[in-house]
Chain A
Amino acid sequence: MWIYEKRLQQPVDVDGANPKLAEYVITQFGGPDGELSAAIRYLTQRYTMPRGYLKALLTDIGTEELAHWEMIASMVYMLTDEMDADAWKQLEMARKYAGRGPAIFPVDSEGNPWTAAYIQAHGRDPIANLHEDLAAESKARATYENLLELSDDHKLNKSLHFLREREVVHFQRFGEALDLLKDEVKHRTTFY
């Protein structure tokens, strides 16, 4: 069961409107290595994981990812704030405005819609799941680094640095879960 708190995990702001940047940032809203992928992945995997600490960790991190998903949406919202049709017309991205107006929609930077094909859950292999989760956190971190290279927006970058650091911490926690799991089964000879 989820309770929503009417505030962002970390405050978001931008230097100014920048729809081009919004188009890059949206990849963390609806792209393969974005926060929605992370949230759905972890919240889905948790149902068939053994052990309370695995279910807790996936639930807690998955929930935090939804808060990050909200932060990304806020960034895109602020980067395209107060832009009317005339402002969009100046830009090459007017085609984006044509279809959905300024709606914030789960797509990647090229406009491909989010898909469950971005995630995986293996019902009987917690090790495989955790490896997937480690990979996901690494890719998310790398994507934030790409965005930091593309962005000159000082205020936005504070949020990008924050979200990138969260990926590092999540990676550590999944790594620890892997470690704890391995300790439990180290006496067995079957490879997994």
Chain B
Amino acid sequence: MIILVTSRSDEMSGGDELELCCPPWMQLARAFVPYQPLRPRKMDAKSALRKGTLFPHLYRPYEQAFRHYFWGRDGA
């Protein structure tokens, strides 16, 4: 019987494996939401109130298509 003993120090500190998986600002087992860059574009106040945000980059209007991607329309 061969017993393989490996060093656990890599797992503890993160080591090279983790650096291969992800860009430096991301890690395994961690949720990541990108930081909105500084000095973002902004729209006028009236449009903002209508749309629900001041920032065009954050404007994500609802399209029915998304949920129907998984479940189709009309029970398809």
Contacts and interface: CB of A to CB of B under 8 A. Distances in A.
Interface string A167-182: 0110110111011101
Interface of A: 10, 131, 134, 144-145, 148-149, 158, 161-166, 168-169, 171-172, 174-176, 178-180, 182, 189, 191
Contacts of A169: 52-53, 55, 58
Contact of B60 (A148, A165, A175, A176): A165
B30 to A, nearest CB: 7
Interface of B: 12-14, 27, 29-36, 49-53, 55, 58-62, 64, 67
Contacts of A131: 31
Dominant secondary structure of chain A at its interface with chain B: helix
B58 A172 contact: yes
Contacts, number: 62
Given A161-B62, A169-B58, A134 B52 contact: no
Contacts of A161: 52, 61-62
Which of B33, B55, B58 has its CB near the most chain A CB atoms (within 10 A)? B33
